Structures are given as structure tokens and as C-alpha cells.
């Protein structure tokens, strides 16, 4: 029979070896995980600008093709970094942590925001990354605007844990396509955002329906989260937009 000392030593060595192997595996896998996260981020940015068929194999090349400049702006709308080199994923704007920046904003601390500029079919498109809160956790995405910052070219939304078939529908084309052609300013130049309307945009006045989309049936809280995210994020960019409209 083995002594207690032998059993204890054997178990301790086994635990140490297993921990070392797990640590090594995590270290070796980290670059691949970071690359996959970067590719997912690129695909979301491209999707909002209506660049079709971006996948794991071509997302990096498409991103470098269509994104011509990446900016970092401050709360007053000043550009504090402009990057147009390749590879675009090395840009300071791409490396910003939106969760951290919007937390800083909520705490009235200095914060920075990314802005992507794309050229597609001879047109300039501005792409604004977004982050907010749904029913069960974070939601995020991108909204692409025309060169006058008024009209929506497209959007992309995703979530971590919204209910499939309900709040999770924000990640589906049916919900996202509603935003195309909507406007975030009225004809007088007043900021309106895009309202996500429970019960449908028919509840809005006809002149206001260009600023709204239908909420998700049964996904009220997630829809409110998208509505709040749009307004909060777009308001954060208004100082820059007003300087460049």
C-alpha cells in the first residue's frame, strides 16, 4: 500500500503538471483567440456598411480594402488620432475597449471613441461602433451613416445572452434591415436618433416614421436596450458630427 505521503506528493505533482499544461495551452491559444475576436469585429463593421459575404477567410482583406481611415475622437469631437495605414487592425481606434470607454463616460472621466471611415462604390460612409445593455447582458453593434451623417446605410447588432426568438432577434437580418434609409436628424437639423417603437412605427406620426423602426414582439426590454444604446452612442458623437456635417 502507498503511504499517505506518497499519495499526497503524487496528487500535488499531478495538479501542478495539469495546471502548467492548461496555462501553456491558454498562452498558445491566446493569439488565435484574439485574431478570431478581431475578425468578428471586422465582420460586424463591414456588415453595417453593407459589405456582403465577409467571412473568416476574407474579413481582414475586405476590412483593409474598404476602411480607408480610422479616427479616435474625444468628447468634444476633436480628432486625437488618425490612422490610414495597413494593416488597419493595428490602428489605435480598433484597439479601443468600448466597455471601458463608456464606463469612463458614465463616471464623468475622460474617454475616447473610435470612428471608421469607409469608401464603397465611390461613396464615403462613417461607421460608429456601439455598446449597450439588453435583458440578460451586453449588446453591441455598429451603425453606418452617409457622408452627411443623416441617413442610415446599415446596422449590425449582436448579443451575448439575449433570449433566442425574442431579444436575440436583434442579430437577425429582418430586424436590422428596418434601419436602412432611416434618418437620425429631421429636416431642420435636429437630432432624433432612431426610435425602436413597441407596437410598430404606425404609432408614430407619419412625418416621424422615418426616424423609427418596429420593436421586437416579445423582446420589449432588449428593444429598449437597443433604443437606449442608439441614443446614448449617437449623442456621444454629436460634437464631432456637428463639426463635420
* Local structure of 154: helix, strand or coil: strand
CB 212 within 8 A of CB 195: yes
List, for residues 90-110, the tens digit of each pLDDT value.
Answer: 999 999 999 999 999 999 999
DSSP structure class, residue 232 = H
Domain count along the chain: 1
* Local structure of 239: helix, strand or coil: helix
| pLDDT over threshold 90, residue 138 | yes
* Local structure of 145: helix, strand or coil: strand
CB 176 within 8 A of CB 155: yes
Going by pLDDT thresholds of 50, 70 and 90, the confidence category of residue 9 is confident
Residue 6 domain-assigned (yes or no): no
Residue 95 domain-assigned (yes or no): yes
CA 150 to mean position of chain CA atoms: 19
As a whole number of angstroms, the distance between CA 208 and CA 185 comes to 11
CB 214 within 8 A of CB 233: no
CA 15 to mean position of chain CA atoms: 40
Residue tagged 463635420 (cell numbers): 244
List, for residues 25-51, the tens digit of each pLDDT value.
Answer: 556 545 555 778 899 999 999 999 999
Q: What is the pLDDT of residue 35?
A: 74
The total of other beta-carbon atoms located within 10 Å of residue 239's CB is 15
Residue 11 domain-assigned (yes or no): no
Q: Which residues pair with 125 in a beta bridge?
A: 118
For 96, list phi and psi in degrees, rounded to 5.
-65, 145
| pLDDT over threshold 90, residue 6 | no
CB 121 within 8 A of CB 160: no
Residue 23 domain-assigned (yes or no): no
Residue 26 domain-assigned (yes or no): no
Higher per-residue pLDDT: 20 or 117: 117
List, for residues 178-198, the tens digit of each pLDDT value.
Answer: 999 999 999 999 999 999 999
* Local structure of 48: helix, strand or coil: helix
Residue 22 domain-assigned (yes or no): no
Residue 134 domain-assigned (yes or no): yes
Residue 1 domain-assigned (yes or no): no
* Local structure of 41: helix, strand or coil: helix
Segment 153-180 mean pLDDT: 96
Residue 219's domain comprises 33-244
Report residue 105 as a C-alpha cell. 463616460
Q: How far is CA 196 from CA 101, 127, 162, 165, 176, in A?
A: 25, 20, 17, 17, 11
Q: Quick one: what percent of the chain has pLDDT higher than 90?
A: 81
Amino acid at each position: 500500500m502507498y503511504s499517505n505521503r506518497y499519495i499526497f506528493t503524487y496528487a500535488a505533482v499531478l495538479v501542478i503538471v495539469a495546471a502548467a499544461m492548461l496555462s501553456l495551452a491558454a498562452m498558445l491559444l491566446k493569439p488565435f483567440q484574439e485574431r478570431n475576436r478581431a475578425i468578428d469585429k471586422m465582420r460586424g463593421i463591414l456588415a453595417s456598411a453593407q459589405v456582403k459575404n465577409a467571412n473568416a477567410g476574407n474579413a481582414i482583406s475586405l476590412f483593409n480594402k474598404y476602411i480607408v481611415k480610422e479616427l479616435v475622437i474625444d468628447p468634444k469631437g476633436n480628432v486625437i488620432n488618425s490612422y490610414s495605414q495597413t494593416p488597419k487592425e493595428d490602428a489605435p481606434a480598433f484597439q479601443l475597449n468600448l466597455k471601458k470607454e463608456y464606463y469612463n463616460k458614465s463616471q464623468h472621466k475622460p474617454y475616447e471613441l473610435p470612428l471608421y471611415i469607409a469608401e464603397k462604390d465611390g461613396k464615403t460612409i462613417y461607421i460608429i461602433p456601439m455598446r449597450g445593455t439588453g435583458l440578460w447582458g451586453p449588446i453591441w453593434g455598429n451603425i453606418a451613416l452617409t457622408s452627411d451623417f443623416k441617413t442610415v446605410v446599415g446596422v449590425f447588432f449582436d448579443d451575448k445572452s439575449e433570449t433566442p426568438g425574442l431579444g436575440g432577434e436583434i442579430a437577425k437580418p429582418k430586424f436590422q434591415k428596418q434601419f436602412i434609409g432611416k434618418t437620425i436628424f429631421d429636416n431642420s437639423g435636429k437630432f432624433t436618433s432612431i426610435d425602436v417603437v413597441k407596437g410598430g412605427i404606425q404609432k408614430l406620426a407619419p412625418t416621424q416614421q422615418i426616424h423609427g423602426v418596429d420593436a421586437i414582439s416579445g423582446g420589449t426590454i432588449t428593444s429598449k436596450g437597443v433604443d437606449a444604446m442608439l441614443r446614448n452612442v449617437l449623442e456621444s458623437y454629436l460634437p464631432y458630427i456637428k463639426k463635420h456635417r
